[in-house]
Structure 1
Amino acid sequence: MSGHFINNPDVILPVPPPSNAAPILDQPLNTTKATTNESVVNGQDGRELVDIDDYRHADGKFRAIVKLFLLYEGQISGTVTEDEAAWAIATGWLVKGDIVVTAGHCAFDHSHGLGRLIKVKAYVGYNGREKVNSEGVEFRHGVAVATTEKWFNSESGHGPADVSFIKLSAPFTTVGKFFTWKQTPISQKGANLGVVGYPGDIANDKGERGAMMYKMFKKTDYELHGSYMNMLQYKIDTNGGNSGSPVLTDQDPHIAIGVHVLGGYSYNSASVINGPYGNRFKAYYDVADALGGASRPLDSSRPDKDKRPWLWTCHATTTETPEGDPVQVELMKTIKFAQSVHAKIEDTVIDADEPISFGPDAGPQMGILASAAIAAAGRLAADGAGGSSVEALANTRPYDGVLGRAILAEAALGCFFEMPQKDQDKFTEFLGPIVASLKPFVMGVAPKLLKGTLEPSMRLLLSNVSPGVSTKRKRTGRSTEAEKDTGFGRKLTEQESAFLNGLMDQVDDPTVESFFGTLTTIGDVIGSALKKAGPILKDVAKIGLPLLLGTEAGGLPPLPTHLDPLAHRAILAEACLEGFINMPQGKRIFKNIIDKVKVLGPKLMNATPFMVKYIGPVVADMLREIKEKEEAKAKS
């Protein structure tokens, strides 16, 4: 357990409940050496004392860091009262006035056999027991706790599930800004991560250990899929009492990306938020938010004769469901829409005299064209923001990789749909935040953009798509090894490089030959998708697509259209591609993606010379219309 204990009690903290605080033990109690001993892992201790103004005042950036005192059922016996017991200390952080996030082992102790948490004292502004009644210090006690099923029910605690949410007796009223959380990135290079909390190895001038708040930020490289138990690892110095501290970045001191819980001789670790390796924070938050109150029944798992007012520990049926999580709800909607495009494209989707179809599997091809159209439109808008130069850019810039990226993304989407349900459920944890970040921009632009490109010009575009291998333009074959030389472009991340190499390792001579009738090669398609286009939908969602929305969008959701499923499919396909890039996959996935590119690529890559040219006039019209409206509004 990473919490620290205090012994030799004397009652000096306010009630309820009666308190005890005294010097903590010189070393935390441990049973498993490297995995639970939070430690100073650098040659020189890098922790800094936090300026008290940062947590004494309501507007302090660390005001929402909470000092916790914890009492467990195993500490109470016939001979030891709670006033005589050694209370543990830990750290938490407020996500609401009366909800504290902390470590799971703060809710249930496996390491020392202490069992359930039964009492919690929580302070903001804490800076020593002799100052608990001073201005700037506020106290609450806990009434309920929600923790993960995997932590609670495992024999010795499951590190990745080491998180809990504590409901307090009443909201803190002197905290100006609470913490929020976001999904822990799968990997980062040079991220300036920090842990802020109350380490128990440092004493104040009164001899009280864990009395003052300390911080340490350090440049960190990490990859979740290569770390111990897929946890967030860092060389940031901590000690017992830091358990439950938020892991922050210097970019925003109020957004946590992990919960500090474990340590070792060379690094310390955090449990992960959301994603394929993390805990569903919104689900646990909702459970904790609904708990508490004097009318709650006793925990049904304890004997009826035991009428002690235990805190709650919540179970799998209430904590593991994604229902109510808006990110997951929206993802399920997008998956449903994206799947609907699998069907033959009817005239209700494309308003034309006759249905356009490659046959029963038209959905992937139309999804690719729609995805490329949206990405190219964003690039054009960003490069020609004024509108006057957009058409010229469309005729001169090929925007290499846009269509290749769409093909590769569609292949990834196809692999996602073929996953076993168990694997698909895990994968959706990664997809949700990506889909949520793209949706407002793509769905806001797509109806008008796709109508402008699909109805008047997509038929012309499709007329240039070769239905099979052409014998007229058959080029000299390239060797398999030559296909793996994919040219130059943007610098790839380590994950992208590994993904590219994994794909190209599955390219054989028949795959190369499948592209002989096209104007490009499979190596060029895959290479340009990663080296030239990159995560293009994410990029244009930041700059290009907002320009096409204009200033009058006002955040209102666009009205649904028959073209929405194509936009949803484009979003989900890009999210799936990023998922496969960032989450390690076996050879089978790489082979499946290559097999799909082999089928999709030859049919669509011949459309490359026409793609951007047909989109240019539509983008130009949209930008001019927005500019005219803004000028008219300014005059009025």
Structure 2
Amino acid sequence: MPSPSSKPGRAAVWKLVPPTTNHPAESTIIPDDGSKGDSESIIGEDQRALVDFSDFLEGGKYRSIVKIQARFEGKGKPVWMMGTGWLIRPDVLVTAGHVVYDWGRRYGAASQIRCFIGYNGRASLQTAQVQARYGVKVISTEEWLQDAGNRTRDLAFIQVDRAFTGNLRTFNYVNTPPSGHKTLLGVVGYPGDKSLKDPETGDEEKGAQMYEEYAKNDYDIGESARRMVEYQISTFGGQSGAPILRRANGQLVSIGTHCYGGGGTDSNSGNAIGGPYGNDYEAFVRLFSIPSTFGDIGSVRVVETKAQTVTIQPAISKPVSYPTNGVNGRSAQNKTIKPQYSESDEEGFLDVFKTIANVGSKIIPLASPFLGPVGGILGPAVGGLLGSLAESELSDNPDIKTEGTAERALLAEAALQAILASEHTEGLTEVVGKMQRIWKVDAPKVDYLAPVVAPIVAECGQSFIRKHQHPVQGRTVKNSISQSRRSLGIDMSESTFGGEEAAFVQGLMGPTRQVAGEEGMFDWLGPVLKQGAVLAKPLVSQAASAALSGLGGLIKKSLGAESTIADVSPEHEEATKILLKRAVMADTALQALMTLPSHKLEQLKPINPETGEAEGIFDFIKDTVQKLGPIALDTAKQAAKTYLPRLIDSATQKVSSRLGLPTESSGPTRSLSKKPSLMDTLNGKNNAIKVRHVSHSADGLAIIDITPMIRHREETWVPSEEWQKCWDDNDDGPVLMKQPPPDL
């Protein structure tokens, strides 16, 4: 059955190439995983023990532990890497996502996979104890193919060419208990730091034998920084994909899949099954039975799992029951569930991203005028309000703290616009991946604030619209920006920045070009940027999420019965929800940019909407801040301070020119030839890179062809024979094999 309260999400699927005879050129010796050392994820004294021979023979308790050998093409130099898996039915096994899609060396998607049960070194292949199969189809998660940081989605399922036979004792699996105290957990797999001498060649074969370790562990997924099952059990590359086994009352039940090594000091960890942070195994596996799921060999698709909405009962105080009896290889149904929250109504990151992307533009028909060009003003206002609420102590005297929150909201809006305008490159993919990771972990839930924030937004927006009633002259592209640069006059020695934000802050505070017509406010710009980037606290954080949780009623009470704010229409309330999400997404975008090193920031190239030319990320951000200007900042400050925004600056001509509002005297729209931006991609304007080209199969599945994106990524990647921590910080990555496997 589907895992209650888990969100299935989308699957990334592809077919594998059938095995062929190994070509002599493939026999080139590939270095072992020497870049990581010999104790990468060993915790204390290594307690891993060699599994007893009888345990992986037919009928043995580990008969369904699978030795995986995966081939990656690289750049014309095929390599093989090893991993572990576990059978959930005779023809389907579970493993880690990085066993089939590699980030750490940038090999990308596996092209061939071989699977063995009963494996105990190369010599064992000649015995009856070993069964060999090859993979035909792979299902991973869309999130794993998007970003190596999506560790909770580092998961994959492999279907083999034919079922394994005999008494397999496939593992039962259950929804991962949210926490455990002195729970006896074990990880069983093929570690790459253990070796066996080949009796024929005398060579040491790494990862040749199965090892196990069990230990009592305390864990709490909700408190874990990675939202994963953590354990003090030694592991090594090659064991990735092994089951996390819970042993109780003589029963072995899987509660997750091992996928992450902490590097020898932190706990090792795996992703969960079901629950708010886990994966719905059944939703993914069912796709194997739908013929239209998979395309041709070589194509990578994203497919909706189409799981039905699950109604979650309120949390109860009874203990959670996790029975171990169930049909062999199927999930055992939980009798009692204590979910932390419901995800049935939660939108996915990309769904929200697409919804908020067009705020402030004229690209699509809008249900509310507040989502049109005026959204560029209202977005920072809403963001400043949220930031102030998060920093307030919400006492009986609602003293809202506003230091830096409005400035940060304005800078965040500019950062989001820069990302949306950027060319679709590998660097942009990384930024969006970072945004998704930050969003999923720290983004506050803000929908419930809409009923009380909507009247504020309505009055603020209506005030602006009333002021903009006369035609004004639009700017021309020619004179909108001065290319001369000036110092912002900020003493960087006084700035309290450091760490990973340093590159962003230094770039932001560098010599700055002026937007024509805004020279008088240039001295205003530097302090605003410093306040927003250095002094203000992030809106998207666990602390802010906790502060905003449950504030709907408190805010309404603070407005009071004497408030003169009128009710707003459902359309305006819905528009407010979008603006709230836009403000949160903007802060997410700013945080993602602030974590990038200088060379990656330089690679981001937003498209100037006036010239159609690519330009630097900092030029675009600072131009946008100048165009929105004091009007947006003042609106944000007043909204945060009083809840009732004051009338916006009377200089409507300046507002119109900044926001690009259409006027009676505006000339015809200039048609610009430009490279596709992320906004174009989200709106389906990019025909060259069909990242979101959706079709529907005969079975009703929404299918998205991401092959062009994968191909573009592979063209820019330069694979490395050594694992690169900056590409994937997982210390338990796959181990390279010295030789390709023998023919099947």
- Length-normalised TM-score, structure 2: 0.45
Q: For 1:400, what is the secondary structure of its paired residue?
A: coil
Native 8 Å contact 1:30 1:37 kept in 2: no
- Other-structure match for 2:446: 442
Find the aligned partners of 1:595 and 1:434 in 2 and give their Cα distance: 26
1:6-17 maps to which residues of 2 (within 5 A)? none
1:335 equivalent to 2:354? Answer yes
Is 1:166 the counterpart of 2:158? The answer is: yes
Tell me the alpha carbon deviations over residues 85-137 of structure 1, each in whole angstroms, 9 at most, x when there is no partner: xxx984347999975123766899x9xx99541544699xxxxx9xxxxxxxx
Q: Read off the aligned partner of 1:504 and give its amino acid letter.
A: M
* 1:586 counterpart (602, 607, 615): 602
For residues 197 and 498 of structure 1, do their structure 2 counterparts lie closer, same or farther at Cα, with a shift above 3 Å needed?
farther
Query: 1:500 Cα deviation (Å)?
Result: 0.7
Matching residue of 1:524: 527
**2:65 counterpart of 1:68:** yes
C-alpha contact 1:450 1:563 (8 A) present in aligned 2? yes
C-alpha change, 1:543 and 1:550, in structure 2 (3 Å) is: farther
Instruction: Tell me which of 590, 606, 614 is aligned to 1:577.
Output: 590
CA shift, 1:70, in A, is 3.2
Change (3 A) 1:103 1:321: closer
* Aligned mates of 1:485, 1:501 — CA distance in 2: 8
- CA-atom RMSD, angstroms? 6.3
Pair 1:562–1:336, CA change in 2 (3 A)? closer
SS in 1 for 2:591: helix
Q: Distance in 2 between matches of 1:421 and 1:73?
A: 30
Residue 228 of structure 1 corresponds to which residue in structure 2?
none
More helix by share: 1
Equivalent residue for 1:480, pick from 481, 484, 487 = 487
> Residue in 1 aligned with 2:382?
370
Superposition deviation, residue 342 in structure 1: 2.0
Q: Does 1:291 align with 2:285?
A: no
Q: How does 1:117-266 map to 2 (within 5 A)?
A: 117-120=114-117, 146=138, 164-166=156-158, 174-178=172-176, 198-199=190-191, 209-213=209-213, 241-244=238-241, 258=259
The separation in 2 between residues aligned to 1:339 and 1:31, in whole angstroms, is 52
3-state secondary structure, aligned to 1:146? strand
- Taking CA–CA contacts closer than 8 Å with sequence separation of 6 or more, which of the two structures ends up with the larger relative contact order? 2
Q: For 1:522 and 1:96, locate their aligned partners in 2 and report how far apart those are by CA, in whole Å.
A: 62
| Count of aligned residue pairs for this structure pair | 434
Write the deviation string for residues 566-621 of structure 1: whole angstroms up to 9, x where unpaired. 2232132222222222343117112211221222233333446533321299xxxx
**Structure 1 pair 47–451 and aligned structure 2 pair: CA distance change class (3 A):** same
Other-structure match for 2:29: 31
What is the aligned counterpart of 2:436 among 428, 432, 439?
432
Q: State the Cα distance separating 1:402 from its structure 2 match.
A: 0.8
Any unmatched runs of 5+ in structure 2? 1-26, 51-60, 72-80, 125-130, 143-152, 179-185, 197-207, 218-232, 245-253, 272-277, 308-342, 474-484, 555-569, 604-615, 646-744
Q: 1-side partners of 2:499 and 2:89: how far apart?
A: 37
Looking at structure 1, the residues matched to 467 and 89 of structure 2 have their Cα atoms a distance apart, in angstroms, of: 57
Matched ranges for 1:545-556 at <5 A = 545-549=548-552
Q: How does 1:377-388 map to 2 (within 5 A)?
A: 377-380=389-392, 383-384=393-394, 386=395, 388=396
Residue 336 of structure 1: how far off its partner (Å): 2.9
Distance 1:578 1:107 in 2: 27
Kindly provide the amino acid, as one letter, of the partner of residue 592 in structure 1: F
**Aligned counterpart, 2:397:** 389
Distance 1:376 1:42, change over 3 A: closer
The 3-state SS of whatever aligns with 1:91 is strand
- Structure 1 unaligned segments of length 5 or more: list them: 1-28, 53-63, 75-87, 124-128, 130-138, 151-160, 181-193, 218-235, 248-252, 274-280, 298-311, 351-355, 469-477, 552-557, 618-636
Sort the Cα spacing of 1:412 and 1:89 in 2 relative to 1 into closer, same or farther, 3 A: closer
Give the corresponding residue for 1:495.
Answer: 500
Residue of structure 2 in register with 1:191 after alignment: none
| Aligned match of 1:8 | none
Which letter maps to 1:448? P
Kindly indicate whether the alpha-carbon contact (under 8 Å) linking 2:407 and 2:532 is maintained by their aligned counterparts in 1.
yes
Contact 1:104 1:147 in 2 (8 A): no
Kindly state the Cα deviation for residue 32 of structure 1 after the two structures are TM-superposed: 1.8
Residue in 2 that maps onto 1:229: none
Q: Percent identity?
A: 18
CA contact (8 A) 1:68 1:89 kept: no
Q: Counterparts of 1:73 and 1:488 in 2: how far apart (Å)?
A: 49
- The question of 1:91 aligning with 2:84 is answered yes
SS at match of 2:411: helix
Deviation at 1:548, TM superposition (A): 0.9
Conservation of the 8 A alpha-carbon contact between 1:201 and 1:240: yes
* Contact 2:256–2:270 under 8 Å retained in 1: no
| Conservation of the 8 A alpha-carbon contact between 1:244 and 1:260 | no
CA distance in 2, matches of 1:145, 1:241: 21
CA distance in 2, matches of 1:115, 1:346: 47
* Alpha-carbon distance, 1:33 to partner: 1.4
SS at match of 1:536: coil
- How big is the shift at 1:289? 4.3
Q: Which amino acid aligns with 1:379?
A: E
Q: Deviations over 1:285-338 (max 9, x none)?
A: 965542279xx99xxxxxxxxxxxxxx999554545578699985523442344
Q: Distance in 2 between matches of 1:211 and 1:31?
A: 25
Query: Aligned partner of 1:332: which letter?
Result: D
Contact preservation (8 Å) 1:145, 1:313 = no
Q: Does the 8 Å CA contact 1:67/1:91 hold for their aligned counterparts?
A: no
CA distance in 2 between counterparts of 1:362 and 1:564 reads 16
Cα displacement (A) at 1:499 = 0.9
Instruction: Give the direction of change, closer, same or farther, for the CA distance of 1:143–1:539 in structure 2 (3 Å limit).
Output: closer
CA distance in 2, matches of 1:71, 1:255: 18
Question: Residue 65 of structure 1 contacts residue 197 of structure 1 at CA under 8 Å; is this kept in 2?
Answer: no
Q: Label 1:361 to 1:406 Cα distance change in 2 as closer, same or farther (>3 A).
A: same
Kindly tell me: are residues 545 and 246 of structure 1, through their superposed partners in 2, closer, same or farther at Cα, counting changes over 3 Å?
farther
Matched, 1:453 2:456: yes
Is 1:544–2:547 an aligned residue pair? yes
Q: Are the aligned partners of 1:349 and 1:563 in contact in 2 as well (CA < 8 Å)?
A: no
> Would you say the 8 A contact 1:38–1:240 is kept in 2?
no
Per the TM alignment, residue 501 of structure 1 is displaced from its structure 2 partner at its CA by 0.9
Residue 418 of structure 2 is matched in structure 1 by: 415
Distance of 1:485 and 1:462 partners within structure 2:
39
Residue 475 of structure 1 aligns with which residue? none
Tell me whether 1:565 sits opposite 2:578 in the alignment: yes
Match status 1:48 vs 2:55: no
